[in-house]
Chains A and B, each alone.
Chain A
C-alpha cells in the first residue's frame, strides 16, 4: 500500500535520512521506532509532502507522492497526525474536526463521519464548542486523531501520539489506535515508546540516525537482545 524506497532527506547540508526503505501493507500496524533525533518525524513529513526528499520514492498504491502538491495528498486517503498534535487552538473542537474534512464535499457524509468520531471520542462531543487551545494534552491528542479520521483515511500516519501523556492516557491512546486499525484503517506508527508500539504492531522498523538498522515481526523484535537493551530498558 505504502512503499518508501531509498529515501534520502537533507536539512541544508546535513543528511537526516540516509537511504531508508520500508513498506506498509494494507491492514497492518507498522511501528517505526527510534530515539529522539533518529529521523522518524522527517520520514513522516516527507511522505506527506511537507519536506521534499533529495532522492528516493514514496509510492502510495503505485502513485509517486512526490509528484503531488502536499495539499492534494490527504484526499488520496493518507492522513497524518503530526508530532505535538498541532490542533488549531483558535478554532473550536467542532471547527477543528471540520478542517479534517476540508477536502470532502458531501455534507451528509461528513456529518456521518463526525458522528463516528464522536462515538469514538465522547469527550470531543462534550467539548465540541470549546476552543482547542483550552483542551488538555490528552484531549488535544484525541482531537488530532479525530481530525485525521474526518478525512476518512485508508492509512493514517501517527507521530508520537503518546508523547507527554500520563500512563493511563497512553494506555487509552494505544487502545484507540488498535481499534482504528480493527475498523479497517492501516496505521504507520512512529514512537519513542517502543514497548507499547511493539505490543500493538504487526511489524516494526528500528531507525538509528537516519538508517534502518533492524526490521522484523514486532514479537521477534521484542525478544531481540539489542532492542531490549537500547529501547525497552531491560
Chain B
C-alpha cells in the first residue's frame, strides 16, 4: 500500500513534525508568560542556548552522563528564568510595555554575550543526548531518526501533562485566574508575583528540554543558536493564538512542517521567508491566530 507513496515526502513530514514539536515546546514558554504577565520575553530563546551549553559542558567537557546533563540543564535554566524575571522584569510590572520589551532584548544580548565570553566564538558540535536507534521501515526505504522517535511523543506528553496541570491543580487554576484578571485574582488571595515566577520556571524548564531535543538534531551550538528558534517559536505562538496552549502546539507543528517542506521542495534560502509570509497571511485573515481568543481590553 505504501509502495505508491513517495518515501522522501514522509521523511520530510516526520522531520517537520519533529522540528515543529521542538518549536511547540519553546512556544509554550512564550505563550504562558504572555498569557499571565502580558509580556513578550524575548530572552526566552537564549535560555535554550544556555541549556545547550550546560548539556555540552557536562557531557562533552566533563564526560558525564548526557541524561544527567539534561537534568542539570533543566534545573539551572529554571533558576535562570526565575532570576531573569525577578531582577529584570519584576521591577517593571507597572512600566509601559515598550520598556519591558527593550529590557527583554537587553537580557537577550546579555546572555548571548556572556556565552560568547565564556565559550568563545567558535561553534561547538553538540553530540546527541538521545540513545535511541533509528527505525527502518518499508524495507529500508523509510528511516526515522531516534531524535524524531523521542521528540514527537515527548512533545505530546508535555502538552498533555501541562494541560492537566493547568486545568486540575490549584496553582494551575490560579494561573488561569491571573491571566484573565489580575485584580480579581488578588481579591481571591492569589499571590500574583509568585504565580508569574512559577510560570517563568515552567517555561524555562521546558526551554531546557527543547534545547536537548533541538541540539541533538541540529548540532551546531553557538552563542546565537537560540535566537532563530526563539523567534520561530514566538511566531508559532502567535500563529496558534498567543496565550493558548493547544495553539502553541498547532502553531509549532505547522511551522516546523511548512519550514521543512519549503526547504525540501521550494528553496533552502527562501524557507524562512515562506514561514514568515504564511504568518502574515494568517494574521491578515485571523488577527488573533488560529486558536486565539479575542483580546479583552479592560477599560
A-side residues, CB < 8 A to B, are 45, 48-50, 69-75, 79-80, 82, 86-91, 95, 98-100, 102-103, 147, 151
Question: Are B183 and A103 neighbours in the complex by a CB distance under 8 Å?
Answer: no
Kindly list chain A residues whose C-beta atoms are within 8 Å of the C-beta of B176.
Answer: 88, 90-91
Contact partners of A88 in chain B: CB under 8 A: 176-177, 180-181, 184
Task: Supply 16 further A-B pairs (C-beta < 8 A) apart from A99-B174, A102-B188, A103-B188.
Answer: A50-B187, A69-B191, A73-B189, A74-B188, A74-B189, A79-B187, A86-B184, A87-B184, A90-B176, A91-B176, A99-B188, A99-B190, A100-B188, A102-B190, A103-B189, A151-B189
Task: Decide if B189 touches A75 in the complex (CB within 8 Å).
Answer: yes
Option from A50, A71, A82 in Cβ contact (under 8 Å) with B190: A71
A70 touches B180 (CB 8 A): no
Interface flag for B141 (CB, 8 Å): no
When C-beta atoms are compared, the residue in chain A nearest to B183 turns out to be: A50
Query: Is the C-beta of B286 less than 8 angstroms from some C-beta in chain A?
Result: no
The B interface is mostly helix, strand or loop, or mixed, namely helix
Does B133 touch A at the CB level, under 8 Å? no
Q: Which residues of B contact A45 (CB under 8 A)?
A: 183
Tell me if A71 and B180 are in contact (CB < 8 A): no
The distance in angstroms between the C-alpha atoms of A73 and B187, with both chains bound, is 8
Cβ < 8 Å to A, chain B residues 160-215: 170, 173-174, 176-177, 180-181, 183-192
Chain B: interface residue total (CB-CB under 8 A): 17
Q: How far is the CB of B233 from chain A (nearest CB, A)?
A: 24
On B, residues with C-beta under 8 Å from A are: 170, 173-174, 176-177, 180-181, 183-192
Q: How far is the CA of A69 from the CA of B192 in the complex (A)?
A: 11
> Contacts of B170 on A, CB cut-off 8 Å?
102
Residues of chain A within 8 A (CB-CB) of B173 are: 91, 95, 98-99
Contact A72 B177 (CB under 8 A): no
A-B complex: 3 closest residue pairs judged by Cβ atoms: A103-B189, A86-B184, A74-B189
CA A72 to CA B186, docked complex, whole Å: 9
The answer to whether B186 and A90 have CB atoms under 8 Å apart is no
User: Of B177, B183, B191, B192, which one neighbours A99 at CB under 8 angstroms?
Assistant: B177
Bound-state Cα–Cα, A150 to B174, Å: 16
**With a CB–CB cut-off of 8 A, which chain A residues contact B186?**
49-50, 70-71
